[in-house]
Structure 1
Amino acid sequence: MTAVAVPFSGAPRVNLMPRSEIARRERESLVRMWVWIVLGAIVVAVLIIAGAFAFKFLADQRLVAEQARTNVLLTEIASLSEVSQALATESELTDFRTDAMATDLAWTPVIAKISGVLPAETTITGVDFTVGGVPQGEDPTVEQGIVGTVTFDSPTPLDIVALIRSLRGVEGVLYADGQSVTSSQVSEDRFSYLLNVEFDQSVYSNEYAAEEGGD
């Protein structure tokens, strides 16, 4: 019987290390790996904490800068408080004047309109007017402005009916009353007349009216 030779490619080696030593070395290798993992985690945590502190520091610096800017603005506003108060007071006084003088009359045009229809040598001797209401709408010709009486005298008797008609046609006159007309001879050559007349709000001067578009 022929024996078969087993080929060998080198010198035979036998691992004589005890199994316990191999297990110990494996444990040490595993421990070293976990130590490096823990150290890496610690380094990452330190970097995150450092980044958070850096971000907070920058945020605090921006907050300080904004607070300083706010304080500067508050100081500037405080320095303008007297100006603002003066402007507010001026606005209040202007509004008060506008309300108080809303019925201010333009007397000269009113007298001129009345005297314009009177005959020559007729003299206005007295007026007694009561001011109407504050303007409420945009059309001043529909609201009562002033109402009262006009006294005048003439050296000759007048056609009072014709005079009243003329007065009713005057711009701004809402009504002229002929029923309450009285006449009397105040002297040998003078005659006195009394008329009731009512004007619309176009006779207001509007000198103190609020400007359109103003506050």
Structure 2
Amino acid sequence: MGGKKLYITAMTLDGAEEVVFGPDERNDITISKAVQASTAMPGFYKPVKIGNEYFVDGGVKQTANLDLMIQKNAKLIICYNPFRPYENREFVEKMSRHTKTKQQSLTEEGFFSVLNQFFRTIFHTRIHAALNLYEKSSTFDGDIILIEPEADDQAFFSMNPFALGHRLHAAQLGFESVRNSINKKFDKIAPILASYGITMNRKGVEVEYQKIHGEEPDPFMLKKVLEGEKRKKQRKRV
């Protein structure tokens, strides 16, 4: 894998134990099978059987696995958390300045919105608890960059991340979310990355952004931008 190491986590259903798949960890399965196990969110996807054990989403045990990255001697950690809780009041207040929109609660949007907010809050809280821990740690001397959607990003919140039919739209929103988050913190992130020999440049991202921005972007162009150059399919093992 070009000198890079990939680690994927999952949790055993019957023992609630964290399992790490990777080159110097458990490596007897394919990457695709490890990803399948790691994303088997209870209630949405059934547990994945590997050997004689069943596995579920590693996020049940830990949200971001920052400890694993630090154990593997990572000094620069970039953490993307798409599950930030939605601040409905902030969005409604912004809208009410321009319209006569009556403030509404997320409860009026139905069960999915309530459940969505519930899971987002849990994941968001756990990540920030871990970040606070390592910020005060005397043993970790690296940098952690957290990228999240804006708190009032209604389009991102309304999207169902588990709906396969919405995968292109989800990818588009993810691209735009990361772009917006980095733009907002560009002056803080750029010097950190520069200290690791990484130069940031807005130009290339903006060119790609203009190609896919809009309510109904061309699906072919969207896939081309998000997937990059097509590579020969190769089945690899972790």
TM (normalized to structure 2)?
0.20
Larger Rg, first or second structure (1 or 2): 1
Considering fraction of residues, name the structure with more strand: 1
TM (normalized to structure 1)?
0.21
